[in-house]
């Protein structure tokens, strides 16, 4: 490729510049072929019209430095397929719990039998929105004396054993310090000081019943709505970290949403069909017996990934442009400066 950028006086291509380059409308005309190179003409057109002003805009970043030249040598574009399966499920767990009893009516077993966890009707949140809610199971309540304070509402302070005062830590209760005739200033010579745990009262309000003396025990139903995600991206054979591909948007080419989806079997890329079968099997194994599946959604997206090779000051460098957002990833940027400061 013969395209060259002749900036006025760049010392090195600054990050902003490469990011600006990345925001061009890359001519992805191949409609999703697995690998292709961009035609040199279309790229030149874009950079002649739009590349140069961007260089000028960023003059401050490489102002009056020695003249240099950046040459784009090669662009390799791939369209990757991303398969995603989301399974929205609900799980229910019941457990005994208690709260301070404050004289309200008690919905106990005398009012009927408690319904089973899955028989309780609740309002379901919007699909694929995770949430946890707690409910009191009907007719499961009973009132008991508080086990912490034995129904007294208060208990003896553990800091001072009910005395309200503690031995002075400064003089160890001797009222004066060792080898000093003056009385201890911390306790004013009393040898004791007010207990900080109970503020001198000698007892504390029971933290369990909050002083109410009785507790209301009941069965609590905890419902968790969870969204499980299975993701697979086709191989790219480039020196590019795969995990970055999970964080960008792709062009949606297939979407299937239902109470339960079926594995894709006839997609032209066999890896995608296999991923769909694997994902659905994994989710159904993981959730079986413990959760109820409410909704599933599977999608296939195309994610552009372009490898850019460029030559600068006698060296070749590589960077990548990926996702519909045209994000930039570079392994080996050359040293660079911006208005005298190093860009990290
Ligand atoms: Zn105390
Ligand atoms: Zn003292
Ligand atoms: Zn208590």
- Which pLDDT value is given to residue 103? 79
- Which pLDDT value is given to residue 333? 56
132-173 pLDDT per residue, tens: 999 999 999 999 999 999 999 999 998 899 999 999 888 888
Contacts of 215 (CB under 8 A, 6+ apart): 98, 99, 100, 101, 143, 144, 145, 146, 147, 208, 209
Q: E-assigned strands of 13-163?
A: 35-37, 70-100, 131-136, 142-145, 154-156
Exposed/middle/buried for residue 339 (C-beta within 10 Å: 0-12, 13-18, 19+): exposed
CA of 110 to the centre of ligand 3 (A): 26
CA of 159 to the centre of ligand 1 (A): 5
What tokens were used for 28? 């992805």
Contact 292, 90 (CB under 8 A): yes
User: How confident is the model over 311-329, as a mean pLDDT?
Assistant: 85
At residue 142, what are phi and psi to the nearest 5 degrees? -150, 155
The conformation of residue 57, written as its DSSP 8-state character, comes to: H
CA of 98 to the centre of ligand 3 (A): 12
Q: Which-ligand-closest: CA of 146? A: 3
- Which pLDDT value is given to residue 315? 82
Q: Which-ligand-closest: CA of 209? A: 3
pTM for this one? 0.65
Q: Which-ligand-closest: CA of 160? A: 1
Q: Which-ligand-closest: CA of 210? A: 3
CA of 100 to the centre of ligand 3 (A): 8
Rounded to whole angstroms, the Cα distance separating 88 from 73 reads 47
User: How confident is the model over 295-315, as a mean pLDDT?
Assistant: 90
Helices (H) and strands (E) in the chain, counts: 4, 16
231-251 pLDDT per residue, tens: 999 998 888 988 899 889 999
Rounded to whole angstroms, the Cα distance separating 59 from 274 reads 51
CA of 146 to the centre of ligand 3 (A): 4
Q: Is the pLDDT of residue 182 over 50?
A: yes
């Amino acid at each position: 490729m013969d395209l060259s950028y002749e900036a006025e006086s760049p010392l090195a291509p600054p990050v902003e510049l490469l990011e600006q380059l990345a925001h061009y409308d890359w001519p992805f005309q191949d409609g999703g072929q697995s690998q292709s190179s961009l035609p040199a003409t279309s790229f030149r057109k874009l950079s002649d019209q739009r590349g140069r002003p961007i260089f000028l805009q960023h003059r401050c970043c490489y102002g009056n430095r020695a003249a240099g030249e950046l040459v784009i040598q090669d662009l390799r574009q791939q369209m990757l397929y991303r398969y995603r399966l989301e399974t929205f499920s609900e799980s229910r767990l019941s457990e005994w719990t208690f709260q301070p009893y404050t004289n309200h009516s008690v919905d106990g077993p005398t009012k009927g039998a408690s319904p089973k966890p899955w028989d309780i009707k609740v309002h379901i949140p919007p699909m694929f929105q995770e949430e946890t809610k707690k409910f009191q199971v009907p007719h499961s309540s009973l009132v008991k004396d508080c086990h912490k304070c034995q129904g007294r509402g208060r208990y003896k302070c553990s800091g001072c054993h009910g005395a309200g005062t503690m031995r002075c830590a400064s003089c160890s209760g001797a009222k004066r310090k060792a080898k000093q005739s003056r009385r201890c200033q911390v306790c004013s010579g009393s040898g004791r000081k007010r207990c900080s745990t109970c503020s001198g009262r000698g007892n504390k309000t029971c933290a369990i019943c909050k002083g109410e003396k009785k507790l209301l025990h009941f069965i609590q139903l905890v419902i968790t709505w969870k969204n499980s995600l299975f993701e697979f991206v086709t191989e790219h054979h480039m020196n590019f970290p795969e995990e970055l591909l999970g964080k960008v948007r792709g062009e949606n080419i297939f979407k299937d949403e239902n109470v339960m989806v079926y594995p894709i079997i006839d997609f032209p890329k066999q890896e995608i069909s296999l991923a769909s079968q694997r994902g659905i099997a994994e989710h159904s194994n993981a959730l079986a017996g413990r959760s109820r599946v409410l909704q599933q959604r599977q999608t296939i997206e195309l994610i552009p990934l372009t490898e850019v090779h460029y030559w600068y000051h006698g060296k070749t460098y590589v960077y990548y442009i990926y996702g519909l957002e045209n994000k930039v990833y570079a392994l080996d940027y050359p040293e660079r400066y911006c208005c005298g400061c190093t860009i990290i």
